[in-house]
Amino acid sequence: MILVVGCNGMLGRDLMTLLGEKARGVDLGEIDITDLESTERTLTALHPSVVINCAAYTDVDGCETNAETAMQVNGEGVGYLAMATRAIGAKLVQVSTDYVFDGGKGTPYQEDDLPRPLNVYGESKLAGEMNAAFNPDHLIVRTQWLYGLHGKNFVEIMLKLAGEKDQLAVVDDQVGSPTWTVDLARAIVALVDNGCQGIYHAANEGFCSWNEFARAIFEEAGLTVTVNGMTTEQLNRPARRPLYSTLDCSKLRQDTGIALRPWREALRSYMASRTNKH
Which pLDDT value is given to residue 119? 97
Set out the domains of the chain in order of their start, with CATH numbers. 2-153+179-206+245-262 (3.40.50.720)
Average pLDDT over residues 31-58: 97
What is the percent of the chain with per-residue pLDDT over 70, rounded to a whole number? Answer: 99
Quote the DSSP letter at residue 82.
Answer: H
CA distance 182 to 161: 24
Model confidence pTM above 0.85: yes
Who has greater pLDDT, 275 or 90?
A: 90
pLDDT for res 276: 74
What pLDDT digit, counting tens, does each position of 184-223 carry? 999 999 999 999 999 999 999 999 999 999 999 999 999 9
Q: What is the pLDDT of residue 275?
A: 78
Question: In sequence order, what DSSP letters do the residues of 243-262 get, joined into one string?
Answer: SB--B--HHHHHHHS--PPB
Task: Using DSSP bridges, classify how beta strands 91-97 and 23-26 pair: parallel, antiparallel or unpaired.
Answer: unpaired
In Å, how far are 125, 200, 277 from 140, measured between CA atoms?
11, 6, 31
Q: 3-state DSSP call for residue 94?
A: strand
pLDDT > 90? residue 260: yes
Average predicted confidence (pLDDT) for the chain = 96
Q: Is 109 assigned a catalytic role?
A: no
Given a cut of 80, whether residue 278 has pLDDT beyond it is no
List the catalytic residue out of 109, 121, 147, 200.
121
Q: Could you report how far apart the first and last alpha carbons of the chain are, in Å?
A: 32
The runs of H, that is alpha helices, within the chain are 10-19, 36-46, 60-65, 67-71, 77-88, 120-132, 154-162, 181-193, 210-221, 232-235, 250-256, 263-277
| pLDDT mean over 75-104 | 98
Residue 277: per-residue pLDDT: 66
What percent of the chain is modeled with pLDDT above 90?
A: 97
Q: Which residues contact 25 (CB under 8 A, 6 or more apart)?
A: 3, 4, 5, 7, 8, 12, 16
